[in-house]
Amino acid sequence: RFSLARLYLSGAALWILDEPTSALDQQGERDLMEWLRQNREWRTAIVISHREGTIAGADQVIHMEDGGVVEHVSS
């Protein structure tokens, strides 16, 4: 949470989050992803995750395997 607060306060226009919910339970994952949706405003957030719940509600989802794109879905 401390790292996310620092990221938010930095004013960075691009956020890259690698498995940001890996140490959270399901409720914590939902809370974090809702916080990200509410606070990304003019930012671009790239979220790398193996958990489907983490990417639910994303504008775009790119599924990759063996270094290549398998599927690309836009909402």
Cβ-contact 53, 29 below 8 angstroms: yes
- Residue 12's alpha-carbon distances to 25, 29, 37, 70, 73, in angstroms, are 27, 22, 15, 30, 26
Condensed to tens digits (0 to 9), the pLDDT of residues 10-67 reads 888 999 989 888 888 888 888 888 888 888 778 888 989 888 878 877 889 999 999 9
Q: Which residues pair with 62 in a beta bridge?
A: 72
- Over the stretch 1-25, which tens digit does the pLDDT of each residue have? 788 888 888 888 999 989 888 888 8
Please give the Cα distance from 29 to 53 (Å, whole number).
Answer: 8
pTM of the entire structure? 0.76
